[in-house]
Amino acid sequence: MIEIKNLHKSYKMGSNSLHVLKGINFSVEEGELVAIMGSSGSGKSTLLNILGMLDELDEGSYTLDGVPIKNLNETKAAQYRNKFLGFIFQSFNLINYKNAMENVALPLYYQKVGRKERQEKALRYLEQVGLKEWATHLPSELSGGQKQRVAIARAMAAEPKVLLADEPTGALDSKTSYEVMDLIQKINDAGNTILVVTHEPDIADMCKRIVHLKDGVIVEDKKVEQVRASQYV
């Protein structure tokens, strides 16, 4: 599903250049649930941004579902994001003047899905994350965990090939974190490919594979026995 070869990325900070990713080789199969771990500054968020086409790579190659991702202009990148990727952010990134259902329906608007169908689909995904009754509530009326579940429903609504989650539990307490991870595990059980960036070992343990990043290189890449989040809920 994802194939990365010899990926380099550096940022210019004034006259200095900061080499963040120093040759990453990495691939993800369909249906995997991968945790990308590392301390802050290890390059894990940069890697996720490149995977999410939010940032461009300097060197190397990136293939997503057989499509080479390079030299994309904003329009093309937007199309690919809409078609291939679903995002889950640490800070949820819901649009605050739209209610839960409208937020979930938004990626479908950009897929040119009709209004009625959009709303039906959005309600179906909200039901999947257990928030159907909250459909007409604004984000400000939802708790952190609920917001993240709306965000997950939104990421799912576009039916993407890969879900990218950047510290999805970073702003949540541990109980809510486990609920969210339980949801992510269930989505993965249904066959979806998910990448989770985290620095919390217990969250990483709930994935099926852990990739350890340190100073811009992969130091460890291992399959693990998945810890089910449901036992903590």
Partner 1 sequence: MFDIERWQEIFDTISKNKLRTFLTGLSVASGIFILVILLGFGQGMQNGIAQEFEGDAATSIWVWTQTTQKEYKGLNPGRQIQFRNEDYTTIVDKMDLNIDGKSKFYRPRGITATYGNDVLFYQVLGTTPEVQFIENEYIVSGRFLNNADEEQVRKVAIISAKIKREAFKNVENPVGEIIRISNIPFTIVGIYKERGNDQEEDRIFIPIKTAQMVFNGADKLDNLSFTLPAAENFDAAVAESVAFKSEVETFLKQKHSIAPDDQGGVGIYSPMEEAKRYYSLITNIKLFFWFVGVCTIIAGVVGVSNIMLIVVKERTKEIGIRKALGAKPWSIIGMILHESIFVTAISGFTGLILSMGLLEIIGPNIEVDYIVNPSVNFNIALATVFLLVIAGAIAGFFPAWRAATIHTIDALRDD
93 lies in the binding site for partner 1 (CB under 8 A): yes
DSSP helix/strand/coil, 12: strand
Crossing angle for the helix pair 144-157 and 174-189, to the nearest 10 degrees: 20
**How many binding residues for partner 1 (CB under 8 A)?**
30
139-178 positions binding partner 1, by CB under 8 A: 154, 158
For the bound state, the minimum distance from the C-beta of residue 51 to partner 1, rounded and expressed in Å, comes to: 12
Q: Which of 107, 139, 145, 216 binds partner 1 (CB under 8 A)?
A: 107
- Alpha carbon distances (Å) from 200 to 7, 164, 203, 204, 222: 25, 17, 5, 6, 16
Cα 51 to Cα 27, 110, 163, 164, 189, distances in angstroms: 11, 20, 10, 8, 22
Neighbours of 50 (CB within 10 A): 23
Span near partner 1 by CB under 8 A; candidates 28-36, 64-72, 107-115, 171-179: 107-115
83 makes contact with partner 1 (CB under 8 A): yes
Q: Is 119 in the site for partner 1 (CB under 8 A)?
A: no
> Which residue number, 97 or 228, has a Cβ lying nearer to partner 1?
97
In terms of CB distance, is 171 or 227 closer to partner 1? 171
Q: How far is the CB of 175 from partner 1 (least distance, A)?
A: 27
- How many CA within 13 A on the CB side of residue 192? 25
224 binds partner 1 (CB under 8 A): no
d(CA 162, CA 100): 22
User: Which of 24-32, 100-108, 193-201, 217-225 is the region at the interface with partner 1 (rule: CB under 8 A)?
Assistant: 100-108
Token representation of residue 1? 């599903």
87 lines the binding site for partner 1 (CB under 8 A):
yes
Structure tokens at 62: 């990136």
* Binding residue for partner 1, selected from 6, 39, 68, 109, defined by CB under 8 A: 109
Find the binder of partner 1 among 3, 55, 182, 202 (CB under 8 A).
Answer: 55
In angstroms, the CA 86 to CA 78 distance is 12
> Per-residue DSSP letters for 34-52?
EEEE--TTSSHHHHHHHHT
Give kind and range of the element (H or E) at residue 190: none
Binding residues vs partner 1 (CB under 8 A): 49, 52, 54-55, 74-75, 77-79, 81-83, 87, 89, 93-95, 97-98, 102, 106-107, 109-112, 114-115, 154, 158
